[in-house]
Structure 1
Amino acid sequence: MADIHIEEFYKDAAIALVQLYNAFPRRVNLFVEDIAGPDEPDEFGLHSKRHMACFGTLLWLAEEGLLRYVDTIRQEALDQAVLTQQAFVRLSSPANPDLHEEDNSDSSQDLPPAVREDFSTHIHTLRNALRSGSSAKISRVMQATFFRDRFDH
């Protein structure tokens, strides 16, 4: 993918959603620096474009109904953020086997059915994509998890 800002969007969104899933159903503060890395505002107090892009990603996720929050903490964080029912159900649901095919090994067949079922979810494929560090894989998993099916009708 040639557009680095889109790759960063997918990565920021993935990290935020995994953080919220890991805390679900508790409300947590979602800090931009925990997602995009440290940022030093300039002499005028303005954040970098990278920081603001990540903050924009968090606001966009809320506008699209994937998370809720009580307020913003300046441009630093979302206060008391939580996944929406739509996002929680989607992340907990089984993913297309093509998404986790490369993560599966022959030894996965030896696992108990409940564990195999957990490994087949969207959240599991998202965590694996983030662990891989591959922008292409993160983008592919995010598209399949949240966006592709909206247009496949």
Structure 2
Amino acid sequence: MADIHVEEFYKDVAVALVQLYSVFPRRTNLFVEDIAGPDEPDEFGLHSNRHMACFGALLWLQEEGLLRYVDTIRQEALDQAVLTQTAFVRLSAPAPQALVRALDAGATDDRTPRSVQRDLSTYIHLLRTALKSGSSERISLAVQAAFFSDSSSPAELH
């Protein structure tokens, strides 16, 4: 089992990418509270470690070339964020069938139209399904497969 901060990182990344994909190509403000939950700054105006970790994950996505933004809104949000071409193409791409089956994300049969089968096997669908499941393991696997590994062979899935 991964460290809790790593699991939270994967979830923050997945939520942010799904939010941006759902409005692509429109720019939108990406609020930390919408991703990590509400946060009350302390008496000195400092945010919690959880809030700052989520904000750091958003900044990291930009540093790694997965999103762009115009500015930060204090440590509350990214102003006018949008997916990069690299992230959009990757999220729209079909995932390996072994991964789709392992995550139970593309439950289709022969009667399902081919276009629907294609949509259900994309990385964005895997991320949405993993988030919906609430399983840290599924979320981590979906994010890793989408962006951090060169291949997703069945041996890597278990």
TM-score bracket for this pair, using the shorter chain length: over 0.9
> CA deviation digits over 1:45-65, x for unaligned, max 9?
000000000000000000000
SS in 2 for 1:78: strand
> CA deviation digits over 1:48-83, x for unaligned, max 9?
000000000000000000000000000000000000
CA spacing shift, 1:122–1:36, aligned 2, 3 Å: same
SS in 1 for 2:29: strand
TM-score by length of 1: 0.94
- The answer to whether the 8 A contact 2:105-2:125 is kept is no
Gaps of 5+ in 1: none
Q: CA deviation at 1:99?
A: 2.0
1:2-151 pair list within 5 angstroms = 2-101=2-101, 102-105=104-107, 107-149=108-150
TM-score by length of 2: 0.91
Aligned-residue identity in percent: 72
Amino acid at match of 2:15: I
Count residues with an aligned counterpart.
150
- The answer to whether the 8 A contact 2:39-2:47 is kept is yes
SS in 1 for 2:150: helix
- Give the Cα separation in 2 of the matches to 1:14 and 1:88: 13
SS in 2 for 1:108: coil
- The answer to whether the 8 A contact 2:105-2:120 is kept is no
Q: CA RMSD in A?
A: 1.4
- Give the Cα separation in 2 of the matches to 1:104 and 1:34: 27
SS in 1 for 2:43: coil
CA spacing shift, 1:81–1:104, aligned 2, 3 Å: closer
